Amino acid sequence: MKGMRARKLILSVAAMFFLLVVCGYTAAEDSRKLTIMVYMCGSELESEYGSASEDIREMINCRCLPDSTTVVVMLGGSKKWTQYPGLKGNSILEIQGSRNRMDDKTIVTWMNMGEPNTLEWLLKYGTKKYPAEDYALILWDHGGGPMEGVCWDELFSDDHMTLAELMKGLRDGWHQEKKLSWIGFDACLMGSAEVAVAVAPYAEYMIASQETEPAKGWNYAFLKEASGDGAATGRIIVDSYFDGLKGSSDSLTMACIDLAKMDLLIQQMDSYFSEIDSRTDQDHFEELSRVRYSSIGFGKAVRAVGVEGYDLVDLADLIARYGGNNTAVSRALQEAIVYVRSDNGSACGLSVYHPYFNREKYLESWRDYYRRLDFSPMYSRYLEHFGAILTGEKWRICSLGG
């Protein structure tokens, strides 16, 4: 009898344990609060320096990652991986709680991470396989601001996503009722008003840097505290970024932007730059040129584009220097900035493209590209007129009207 009771007890305990494991896993799936998708295009940052692998190790080392949060990392875009030298194609790394596993059977061939359909694939895969109350997206790689885009895939001749292609990937891949709680760019120069407007239909908050980022990039210790609260998580990311780069000699900026406030900001920019445009002529150009020259700039000399850089300026500083009736636009800009830090306190959180130093790139492609952006019509018109004088071209009536 004792032996039978013992066997029954053992079987009962085993059955309970099995049910707990199964039910526990199901409960974790059912109670997942946040899925963070990381679009990690390694490029030569990984193949030459191992930067992506270093960040993966940071993610995995977050042993206190809540069970209710899953991090889904899509790896690709690099010729070799320090952390996973055997990769034969894009792969998915799943990190949850203290567990991580590589699902290298998910994708059997290399997909071009400079193409919007690859981003579309990740968004559909992440939301279907890891359903959650909230979702977030991080794009990891080089960044070139609004004029050059993000994610250079060295397996496909350094093809990269333009801002228009980024919007297409988001539009085609995001089919949830709610927006992404937040979208982050662990990439240089993506903290611009043009980028914020582009991603606003798909996310509630944006976290990005106006300036170039050091190779170390974000500090992924923030994952332990990440949540579906975009404003709160944005603050944590900004602070952890600076904590992880203490002692760095690089110029540091990072900000969290409330994307719901971008419509009002664009309305106020239209009103403000309509007045500025009215005096953008030969008589006033020297004055306007001095303001542009002295405005706080970012990414001034980056070899990927040319020694003259990206022509990105701090939006608040530009408006303050132009003066005039700028109270409404300045207030709208302040309301859009949830939290910002810079090592010298000078960055407002959002930059904007303004041609000046890199005239060659402006004439070659950036002028035509900017015309096609769905951004502030009056700011775009002002840039058209400023650029025509700057480059010595004859004054032209452009497609924006004039």
CATH of the domain at 222: 3.40.50.11970
What tokens does 144 get? Answer: 């070139």
Report the Cα 277 to chain-centroid distance in Å.
31
Which of 350, 349, 356 is CA-nearest to residue 383? 356
- Evaluate if residue 335 carries a pLDDT over 70: yes
Mean pLDDT, rounded, for 324-332: 97
Confidence check: pLDDT of 402 > 80 = no
Which structure tokens are listed for 326?
A: 């700028």
Q: Which of 238, 261, 284 is the last residue of a domain?
A: 261
pLDDT in the model for residue 64? 62
pLDDT, tens only, 168-188:
999 999 999 999 999 999 999
- Could you read off the pLDDT of 99-137 as tens digits, one per residue? 888 876 677 789 999 999 999 999 999 999 999 999 999
* 279 and 199 in a common domain: no
Residue 352, SS3?
A: strand
Contact 211, 298 (CB under 8 A): yes
What is the per-residue pLDDT for 300? 78
Residues 285 and 167 in one domain: no
- Is residue 86 very low, low, confident or very high in pLDDT (cuts 50, 70, 90)? confident
Whether residue 274 sits in one domain with residue 255: no
Give the Cα separation of 290 and 272 in Å (integer).
Answer: 19
pLDDT at residue number 31? 81
Same domain, 44 and 184: yes
Residue 387 Cα distances to 54, 288, 291, 354, 380, angstroms = 42, 12, 14, 9, 10
Please report whether residue 66 resides in a domain: yes
Which of the four pLDDT bands, split at 50, 70 and 90, describes residue 306? very low
- Note the Cα 398 to chain centre separation in Å: 31
Number of domains in the chain: 2
Q: Are 113 and 245 found together in one domain? A: yes
The length of the chain in residues reads: 402
Q: How far does CA 142 lie from the centroid of its chain?
A: 10
Report the C-alpha gap between 165 and 150 in whole angstroms: 10
Q: Which domain holds residue 274?
A: 263-390
Give the DSSP letter of residue 113: T
Distance CA 234, CA 206 (A): 8
Residue for token pair 């306007």: 288
Listing DSSP states for 208-251 in one string gives E-SSPPPTT---GGGGGG--S-HHHHHHHHHHHHHHHTTT--S-
Of the candidates 261, 282, 314, which is a domain's last residue?
A: 261
pLDDT at 19: 31
**Tokens (6 digits) for 342:** 């810079």
What pLDDT is stored for residue 63 in this prediction?
67
For the stretch 7-60, pLDDT in tens is 333 333 343 333 333 333 333 556 899 999 999 999 999 999 999 999 999 999
Residue 323: left if φ>0, alpha if ψ -120 to 50, beta else—which one?
Answer: left
Q: Which phi and psi (to 5°) does residue 141 adopt?
A: 160, -155
153 pLDDT more than 90: yes
Per-residue pLDDT, 351:
98
**Would you say 194 and 164 are in contact if contact means Cβ atoms under 8 Å apart?**
no
Measured between alpha carbons, how far is 352 from 112 in angstroms, rounded to an integer? 28
Tokens coding 281: 């002529």
162 and 257: one domain? yes
Same domain, 252 and 114: yes
pLDDT cut 90: percent of the chain above it: 78
Are 189 and 293 in the same domain?
no
pLDDT on residue 133: 96
- Inter-residue contact 228 to 180 (CB < 8 Å): no
Mean pLDDT of 301-325: 81
* 67 occurs within a structural domain: yes
Average pLDDT, whole number, for the chain?
88
Residue-level pLDDT at 234? 98
Question: Of 206, 237, 261, which one is at a domain's C-terminal end?
Answer: 261
pLDDT, tens digit (0-9, with 9 covering 90-100), for 245-274:
998 888 999 999 999 999 999 999 999 999
Please tell me whether residues 145 and 232 are part of one structural domain: yes
